[in-house]
Amino acid sequence: MTNAPYPLNEDVVRSALRGVIDPELGDNVVDLGMVRKIVVGNDGEIRVSVALTIAGCPLRTQLRNDITTRVGALPGVASVKVEMGAMSPEERSALMSRARWKARESAPQTRVPANTRVIAISSGKGGVGKSSVTANLATALAARGLTVGVLDGDIAGFSMPQLLGVSERLIAEHGRIHPIIKPVGSGQLKIVSMGSIEGSGEDQAIMLRGLMLNRALQHFLEDVEWGAMDYLLIDMPPGTGDIQMGLARMMPRADMLVVTTPALAAQQVAARSVDMARRGYLRVAGVIENMSSFICDHGESYALFGAGGGLRLARSSGVPLLAEIPLDASVARGGDSGVPSVVGDPDGPVAKAFITLAERIVTDVVPLVEMSGCTSRLLQAASDALKP
């Protein structure tokens, strides 16, 4: 059991559960009144009792997995047991009341759909290739036929327009910003970046104080007409400042991937990002080691930036090492040309690593939300009740 930097208690577990969203009602299981009981054992065993709208709710497995991964990511947790039951008529009535209240609201807190999986890609320091990881992973996911949003959360240090090869400007209509659409095979990217706003350019400095940077991120979440998406990838700025804390407040359901290089110094700094995420009750889904060994044409491998940093960070954080992305010239070429390695050099070692990573993300690490029918019927009933 990992030593926790703060006491593991019912309030900590409850805060983590606020990141578990019913994708059809668009609210968290705590505020919906679905969490009946939380028991924290002295040995780190956590028991969570949850009431579903109906006993055979199709979202049962989805919610169980989300609760297990969210609570299980808390330091000090040894095991998570989820007990599920069905709501009483009175509890369903209370849920309906909340659904009606939500339906009356003029707008949701953000315009990111509740069934979109949100992944923040973070690092403790700059220079580890976090943005190239974001661009290539987003492209690999879209190449699978998915719709993937890419939010350039590094407001002052934006790079997505260059890395993804988009020169178009964001268009605002009726107070809403429309993302730039870029087809990738049978899928597509929806891209939003400060670098795509009229009047900004690659060589112009964005000079904003911390709170204004955070406000810019908030605008991108609240005022962009994102539409339907399978995933939203947020390229975070390095460090643990205002934007990171703002994301934890605005998007508590986000999962975080932490990027590091093999060097010990980078791994130690990246550990701060893990700590920041957990203090904000975000789930750390795994570690990506970038710039791993360089493999030359005759097959010899060279650890130019050291070895083992990703695995050390994963083990110390209690999360999986999801990928080791090799050091390869195709990444630099892709960044310069605006064609990520995944499509620019599809048979190369970098592309293969990202394709494998995308497969892990979709099938295991942050799986797609399967929309079903238990709570959606309640939501529809709540909406119908508001019609004249």
* 202, 144: one domain: yes
Please report whether residue 383 resides in a domain: no
Please report whether residue 66 resides in a domain: yes
**Cα–Cα dist 293/310, whole Å:** 12
**Cα–Cα dist 197/97, whole Å:** 41
Any idea what the CATH number is for the domain that residue 70 is in? 3.30.300.130
Please report whether residue 377 resides in a domain: no
- Residue after which a domain boundary falls, among 50, 74, 106: 106
Please report whether residue 379 resides in a domain: no
Q: How far apart are the first and last CA of the chain?
A: 56
Please report whether residue 386 resides in a domain: no
Q: Which domain holds residue 100?
A: 10-106
**Cα–Cα dist 40/304, whole Å:** 45
Any idea what the CATH number is for the domain that residue 230 is in? 3.40.50.300
The length of the chain, given as a count of residues: 388
pTM recorded for the entire structure: 0.73
Which letter, b or e, does each residue of 78-105 get, where b requires 16 or more Cβ atoms within 10 Å of its Cβ? eebebebeebeeebbeebbeebeebbee
List Cβ neighbours of 192 (8 Å cut-off, separation of 6 or more): 149, 150, 151, 152, 170, 177, 179, 180, 220, 224
In this structure, the number of other CB atoms found within 10 A of the CB of residue 310 comes to: 28
The pLDDT of residue 107 is 41
Tens-level pLDDT at each residue, the chain (388 residues): 444 555 899 999 999 998 888 776 667 889 888 899 999 998 999 999 999 877 777 778 888 988 998 999 898 899 999 999 988 888 877 777 776 665 555 444 788 988 899 999 998 777 888 999 999 999 999 999 999 999 998 887 889 999 999 999 998 888 888 999 999 999 999 999 988 886 555 555 554 555 566 677 888 888 899 999 999 999 988 766 667 777 777 888 889 999 998 987 777 788 888 887 877 778 889 999 998 877 776 667 776 776 788 898 988 888 899 999 998 888 889 889 999 999 999 999 999 999 999 999 999 999 987 655 555 555 445 444 444 4
100, 350, 352 from 144: Cα distances, Å: 37, 17, 13
Please report whether residue 276 resides in a domain: yes
* C-alpha of 320 from chain center: 16
The pLDDT of residue 145 is 96
Q: In this structure, what are the phi and psi dihedrals at residue 13, rounded to the nearest 5 degrees? A: -65, -40
* 186, 49: one domain: no
* Partners of residue 4 on adjacent β-strands: none
* C-alpha of 140 from chain center: 16
The pLDDT of residue 337 is 93
What pairing do the DSSP bridges indicate for beta strands 21-22 and 27-28? Answer: antiparallel
The single-letter DSSP state of residue 6 is: S
Q: What angle is formed at CA 274 by the lines to CA 270 and CA 276, rounded to 5 degrees?
A: 110
* 71, 121: one domain: no
**Cα–Cα dist 120/324, whole Å:** 18
Nearest by Cα to 202 from 254, 144, 249, 152:
152
What sign has the CA pseudo-torsion 195, 199, 202, 203?
Answer: negative
Q: Are 29 and 13 in contact (CB under 8 A)?
A: no
Query: How many domains does the structure of the chain reveal?
Result: 2
Nearest by Cα to 277 from 292, 255, 298:
255
State both tokens at 185: 């095979």
**Cα–Cα dist 265/3, whole Å:** 22
Please report whether residue 380 resides in a domain: no
